[in-house]
Each structure stands twice: as structure tokens, then as C-alpha cells.
Chain A
Amino acid sequence: MDTIVLLTLTGLGLAALYFLVASGLSLVFGLADVLNFAHGLFLGVGAYATWWAAGNLPGAGADGLGFLVAVAFGVAAGTLVAVLVELVLIRPLYSRTIEQVLVTVGLSLAGVALLQATWGADARPFPRPDWTRQVTSILGANVPNGGLLLIIAAVVVLGALLAFLRWTRYGLVIRAGVENREMVTALGIDVRKAFTLVFAIGGAAAALAGALGGVYFGTVSPGQGGSLLIFAFIVVVIGGMGSVVGSAYAAVAVGLLQQFVNYYGTSGLGDVCVVGLLAVVLLLRPQGIAGKVATA
């Protein structure tokens, strides 16, 4: 029983990480039709900015309030990079899909190379509060606190995103834009502002994933964003483009499947099963769990 609980909660921790990356990716694709391969870079920037801030930024540190300041700095850095990417690189390329893919893939590779050139290719220990290295006993299972922190963060982000989409004017614009972007402009709304906003939201969530992923894994490395991005894309496709709720369901399915199969099967088989799940969903329900609707 304790093994099941442990696998479930660590699987949910992984799902939380996927959700934080995939939710922004999904909104960006659903609204702006941009397949953003540079999304992993936002995660990397968030992780490295948090790591840097904890050691160098006045007021920031590896524990207590200082750690919160470091994470806030990381999130702000990821958000800023995301907004700049949208304004400078993506905006001139809307409705030019091939160029978008080339630019975002190139940016992703260049970003990883830049992080490597600056801080080296090797993984570095991530500064984190002591309590995140400890475990909490739940129904007999010793669950790492870093994973629980990720789950709590993802639930808070999910709630905040749903409230934003449901109750705010920009949330309404995003939900409508995911359905029919052209008609939103035909109602006199400058949908480009919403594009920038979803990039900012996506960048912030990915950067938070980078910071908390550093806590979860204990290290930070330049390629972390890219490897998580693959699974985030799978989550987006399974969940349905543009659906935050769909991304949440899909992230849980992928995280749990990976964790259980890797434990009861052989290591790595979980990843194969995730690809299998993707294939099944594409065959049976090509629009994903929630289809192209920004559900709130």
C-alpha cells in the first residue's frame, strides 16, 4: 500500500512539473497557433536565474524568505524572456509557421548553448531549503517534500489560471481567441496583446517549473528544459490544444503512467508507454481530451 501511495504522489509530482510547462505551451498554441520549441528555454532561464539569485542577489538565499525571493527573481526572468521572444522574434512571424518553427528551434538550441557557455555543461547543485530535502510520511509512505511542493504549486497555478480565464476580461479574450481568433479581432479587440499575455503567463509557469524542478531534482543543467519539453508537448496534444484543464488531466495521466510502469516494468518502459498513450489518443480522439477550447 505504501508503495502505491509513494508512486502515486511522486507521479503527481512529475505531473505537476509537466503541467507547469504544458499549460503555457497549450495556451500559446491554442490562441496564437505558435508551436513554441523555445518554451524549454523559459524553464532553463527560470532555473538558472533562481540558482544565480540564491547565491548572488541581495536578500535572496537558499532558505526561508530568501528562497522565495530567489524563485520570484527566476520567475520574473523567465517571464521577461518570454515577453521579449514574443515581441521581437514571434510577432513578425505570425501565420508563417515554418519560420516560427525554425526560429524557436534555433532559439532553443542557442539558449542551451548560451547557458552551457556561461555556467558549464555539467549539472550544478541547486540551492534549496532544508525541509525540501526531507520527507513527509503519508499513509506509511515517505514522500519527498520537493515533490509535494511541486504538487501544491501546480494546484495553485491551475486554480489561478482557471480564475483568470473565467473571471477577467483578458481571460475572456483568450478563451474566445482559442475558438476563433479572427472573430475576436472583428469585434474590435487587438488580439496581439493577448498573444503577449499568454507568452508571459507561459513563461512565468515554465520558469516556476524550472525553479521548483531544481528543488525536485536537486540539480540544474542546461538541457533540463529541452528534455521536459518533449513530455510537455505530449501532454499538450493529449490534453487538447488551448485547454488548461485538458493539460492538467493529461499531465496526471502521463506522470502516473510513467512512474508506475517504470517501477513495475523496467526503467524507461514508462516513456515508451507514454508515447503509446499519445498514439492511442491521436487515433481515438485526435482533438485531445478537451479539444480546442480554453476551458475555465
Chain B
Amino acid sequence: MDAIILQILNGLDKGSAYALIALGLTLIFGTLGVVNFAHGALFMIGAFCAVTLNKLFSLSFETVDPTRTDFLGNPLKVKTPYLVDWFGPEVGASLIDWAVPLSILFSIPIMIGIGFAMERGLIKHFYKRPHADQILVTFGLAIVMQELIKHYYGANPIQTPAPDAFRGSLDFGVLLGFDPNVIIYPYWRLVYFAFAAVIIGGVFAFLQFTTFGMVVRAGMADRETVGLLGINIDKRFTIMFGLAAAVAGLAGVMYAPINSPNYHMGMDFLVLSFVVVVVGGMGSLPGAVAAGFLLGVLESFASMNQIKSLLPGIDQIIIYVVAIVILLTRPRGLMGRKGVMED
């Protein structure tokens, strides 16, 4: 029992990332009808927003402290971050410590800007082109983004720590009445899950309860009629693209402490997220979220030792096996709508 709970928890953080990326992919697909292969790159750029802010905050200048010496006997050089100098040791240090959560604020305008630029500059010209062309051009864009990041940040993963307060682990089992130290779960992953839940809830609420969301949903159902009613649906869809980019970026920002960002993390996630979208059903938002969590949890179950000894290698392929089975038995995915992407 405890092992099962542990695996479910383990699956949740990866599942949250899949769900967030898949949500953005589905939003773009449902509104603009574009298959966006650059979405993983947006996730990666989000993670690098966190890296950037972390680096900016830790920018420091060197002073020589004549009272102390280093091990060679020379006067010790002390590095002081500018922030500490400006805001005093306490506020400065905690700002640096909280760099990752703060980069949420920093990344939202950046991601929305990138989203707008992408949609207006490139994707706009591909509405009428076949899906293959859309896949190919966004694939090219993903390569470009990836290489730019690699050029400026290097090819190695960059450690981006979570704030001190979240660095430990929670003994989750005790809360449920198990023995101590059976179910240990890092705080940050819990935070990630809660964050993902809030974002997903926010997006759904935005679509469900605001006038803007209503218009967007109407546009997803029948773009032409909404346009005939005198509503500028293109503008709203562009905003949705920016929103989807922001969701992917936020997923990346918060993922940075879990897995040190490197330039190809987006591509690794993209392939899986596409599988998630297809399993959930192309164009279905709840489907994308459900499939994200489902596949994340399944993946972590498959990496249990008992299961691995029964079916060796299953942890490597479980997601793909599930995808193949679902695509062949339920052609529209778990919650796919009729008439979406059926040719």
C-alpha cells in the first residue's frame, strides 16, 4: 500500500509537467488548428528564465578583506552580490534564495511576448498550409531556439536550486498513519504539483467563467460564425497563443529545481507531451490534463523494481505502449471530440 502511494506521488510531478505542456499544446491546436512542435522549446525557455534570474540576482562584485587571508596567505577576496549590497544582507539574501519563484513574475511577460511574436511572425502564415508543413516549420523553430540557448548558456545542465524553505522532504506517510520514513516526498515536488493544479484550474476557469473565455470557446467550436458576428477572433486566438506559451514557460520555470535545465530538455518533454495529447484526444483540454497525470503515474509505477523484474525494460517504453494501444483501440483518444483531426 505504502509503495503504491509513493509511486502515485512520484508520478504526480512529472505528470504535472506533462499535463501543463499538453494543455498548452491542446489550447494552440484547439484554437488555431496548428500543430506546434516548438512547444517543448517554450518549456525550455521558461526554465532558462529561472536560470537567468538566478544568475542576475547572484551577480556580485569582489572586495578584498584585509583582515582575513586565504590558504595561500593572500588577503581574502570576498564576493558580495549586488543585491546584498543594495538591500542589506537579509532582504538581499532572501531575494537570491527565492529567485526561482520570483522568476514566475519575470517569465510571464517574456513568454507572452515570445508567444505573440511567434504567432504573428510565423504561425500566422501557416494556418492554411497542411499539418505536415506546420510540424516542419515549428520543428525548425524549435531547433533555432534550442541552439540559441545552447550558444549563450552552454550545453551542460545548470543547477537552479529551490528556496531553502522547500529544500527538505516531507514525511508524507506519517500524515496518513504509516510508519515514519516510508513515504518521503520532497517539498518542492509538492509545490510543483500544487502550482500545476492552480494553473490548470486557472486556465479552465478563465475559459469557463469569463466573457473572453466564452468567445474563445465559441471560436474553437465554429470560427467562421464567430467571425461573422463581428468579433475579431484572430486577435483573441493570438492572445490564447500567448497564454499557452506562458503556461509552458511557467511549467518550465518551476521545473528548473527538479531537473537542472539543459538546452534539449524541451525536446525530451515535447515527444512525450505529444504522446500525451494524442492519448488524451486531440483538441480536448480535460483529456490532455487527465492523460498527462495518467501517463506520469503509469511511468513511475513501471519503474518499480517488482514490475521491472516481471517485465524488464517496461519503464522505458510504458508510455509508448499505452499510446499505441489507446490509438488503436480508441482512435480519438480518451476524450477526443468527433471531427477533430480526422481525415
Same complex for A and B? Answer no
